[in-house]
Structure 1
Amino acid sequence: MSDQWAAVREVLPVVTARFADLVEANDPAAPATAEWTVADTAAHVVTIASLYTTLLAPEPEVADPVIAARIPTVTVDTVADINTLVLGRFHERNPAALAATLRSSVATVLDLTTGTDPERTVPWLGASRVPVGGVLAHLVNEMLIHGWDIARAVGAPWPIPAREAAPFFDLFIVGMIRNDVGSLFDGAPSNDRRIAVAFRSRHTKPVTLVLHRGRVSVEEPGGPVDVRLGFDPAALHLVLFGRVGRTRAALTGKLRVTGRRPWLLFEFLRAVRMPTNAAPLSED
């Protein structure tokens, strides 16, 4: 984890500055997604960063008891509900104020995690357990995904370098699955079939994720697999969050599906999925 931990701490302030500049440079009332304006999108990211300043504190505090009570019961399919609740209780929509709060919260997150063990876990949505490194990677990914939303809507460039995207896969997705996914993936259809998917990228550590009877686990590479997925981290995350279609990503060569039973990837991804709420203005 050490290389990705160093990487995520390096890219977090860089992505924060880029996202904050994007927010300040555009009309806050402009639509960024089918549901949110630019200001709403920025506010969503700010609430996550602010939450992490309390989650990562030496003695975590309950900033909002109403929201805290909902967090342990959230699943991937109900993330939209808690996002709506949080945005309804957070009223700031001024771009300059949002950008300033985001920069301050990220600086606090970095200060709080200086010298910490990146593999120490903290409670997350759905009673899951996420390593500290994964928390920082999740925050980076929120800005990358929602920055993509804003930039696409207003016609601005928004590159997502692999170095910025890769920690989310290694530290958050794999990190959470190694520890405890809680009830986060509950509600997906499941059967007795065992599906093993080998994930391979030049930017991440090789790993095999296994879905069996509705539960997902991590295996070291080398064993038998049904699907081999070669991926560019940015492309994979945009697909997982419903921003780019699988066919488009495959046609560009950024997702490469092979193996004995490649069709099982679709069943795997119906269970091991990410929230696709706040969809883009038009989907690919």
Structure 2
Amino acid sequence: MTNSTSMPVVPDLAELSVALESAMQRTIAIARSGGDPKAPVPSLNWNASETGTHLMWALFAFAGAISGEPLNAGFPEVSWDNNMRDYLAVINDQALSASGERSMEDVAEGLEQAYEALKKVIASSPNLEAAVPTSWYGPDQTRTVGTLLALSVTETLVHGWDMARAFKIDGEFTVEEARAAFPTVMSQMLPILVNPNLPDGFKASYEIRIHEATPFVLRIADGKAVAEPAGEPVDCIITMNPRYGLLTGFRRVPLWKGIIGGHTMAAGDKPWLAFKFQKIFMSA
């Protein structure tokens, strides 16, 4: 599995801070909106409380990894078969099992504490391109500080949106919030989520253009993907709205619907490859 720490899209720390603040405030308010903690979340196998609890643990893990105080929940050792998605799924299940049932107020308070930990990290002005251990993605895995802070934003945006849908209330996030983090997350995380069942010899290259963000390229060959700065020729160019793109990346909406609806556009020598894009990568 790819363990590269090069960053074709380095996020802006100030923009991440602003996006995280608004995302956390909204998500904590959603948790305190009076919804049923056992309300099922569309598209997930979790209820609202479990979704919020997962988010809390993820944020604590990101903050701990960056600060050099990794989260140690004492979970049993998980077998590794070079499949990050399945490995992470077991870690997530163990975290939820260890947490037990939580009220939505418990969730809100946990999110507040996790946000305080992240604010301390941001206030320290960390090196966004420094690699830190991220054992929940697999043995010896690392990600950059910028990636984990960007993930803090995208996880909060999407899981806040998830809980809002469970409660049937408004949880929409803004294009600006998504733009601050999504390009970094997409370029850094997709290379470790390549579908192991791609056809032999499959090759493709995509330039990803997220509105008003730094473009980047994903090259797929021999069952691996590499992210690199834009500039060299590619097979397919995908241009997307950052908000819709984030929901697409988290498998909340299909890419083809975005193309038909005008939220996403495909161009280049092989624009039809856009319809294969989601099948190349697994969701986490």
Fold-level similarity (TM above 0.5): yes
**CA apart distance, 1:153:** 2.9
Distance in 2 separating the partners of 1:48 and 1:6? 21
Distance in 2 separating the partners of 1:2 and 1:208? 14
Structure 2 length-normalised TM: 0.84
Distance in 2 separating the partners of 1:186 and 1:244? 19
Counterpart code for 1:117: N
Equivalent in the alignment of 1:249 = 258
Counterpart code for 2:52: A
Equivalent in the alignment of 1:116 = 126
Distance in 2 separating the partners of 1:240 and 1:166? 13
Secondary structure at the counterpart of residue 49 of structure 2: helix
Equivalent in the alignment of 2:219 = 210
Distance in 1 separating the partners of 2:59 and 2:13? 18
Counterpart code for 2:98: R
Residues 67 and 107 of structure 1, relative CA distance in 2, 3 Å threshold: farther
Equivalent in the alignment of 1:160 = 173
**CA apart distance, 1:99:** 0.9
Distance in 1 separating the partners of 2:186 and 2:81? 18
**CA apart distance, 1:171:** 2.4
Equivalent in the alignment of 2:26 = 18
Structure 1 length-normalised TM: 0.84
**CA apart distance, 1:242:** 1.8
More deviation in 225-234 or 100-109? 100-109
Secondary structure at the counterpart of residue 217 of structure 1: strand
User: Which whole-Å deviations, capped at 9, do the CAs of 1:240-259 have from their partners, x for residues lacking one?
Assistant: 22211223212221111122
Equivalent in the alignment of 2:204 = 195
Query: In the alignment, does 2:248 pair up with 1:239?
Result: yes
Distance in 1 separating the partners of 2:19 and 2:63? 18
Distance in 2 separating the partners of 1:109 and 1:71? 29
Structure 1 spans left out of the alignment, 5+ residues: 276-284
Contact 2:75 2:94 in 1 (8 A): no
Residues 79 and 175 of structure 1, relative CA distance in 2, 3 Å threshold: closer
Counterpart code for 1:6: A
**CA apart distance, 1:219:** 3.0
Distance in 1 separating the partners of 2:11 and 2:106? 34
Equivalence map 1:17-56=2 (5 Å): 17-25=25-33, 26-33=35-42, 34-56=44-66
**CA apart distance, 1:167:** 3.3
Query: In the alignment, does 2:104 pair up with 1:95?
Result: yes
Distance in 1 separating the partners of 2:11 and 2:199? 35
**CA apart distance, 1:62:** 4.9
**CA apart distance, 1:191:** 3.0
Contact 2:32 2:108 in 1 (8 A): yes
Residues 266 and 70 of structure 1, relative CA distance in 2, 3 Å threshold: farther
Contact 2:175 2:242 in 1 (8 A): yes
Equivalent in the alignment of 2:184 = 171
**CA apart distance, 1:163:** 1.6
Distance in 2 separating the partners of 1:268 and 1:123? 29
Equivalent in the alignment of 2:114 = 105
Give 1:83's match in structure 2, choosing from 92, 95, 100: 92
Counterpart code for 1:24: R
RMSD value, Cα: 2.5
Secondary structure at the counterpart of residue 15 of structure 1: helix
**CA apart distance, 1:111:** 0.6
Structure 2 spans left out of the alignment, 5+ residues: 1-8
Give 2:145's match in structure 1, choosing from 132, 147, 164: 132
Contact 2:26 2:171 in 1 (8 A): no
Aligned residues between the structures: 270
Contact 1:20 1:103 in 2 (8 A): yes
Which consecutive aligned stretches of 4+ in structure 1 deviate over 4 angstroms post-superposition?
67-74
Equivalent in the alignment of 2:6 = none
**CA apart distance, 1:158:** 1.9
Contact 1:190 1:213 in 2 (8 A): no
Contact 2:216 2:228 in 1 (8 A): yes
Distance in 2 separating the partners of 1:200 and 1:273? 20
Secondary structure at the counterpart of residue 50 of structure 2: helix
Distance in 2 separating the partners of 1:233 and 1:77? 27
User: Which whole-Å deviations, capped at 9, do the CAs of 1:115-163 have from their partners, x for residues lacking one?
Assistant: 2111111223134432111111112111211222222232211222122
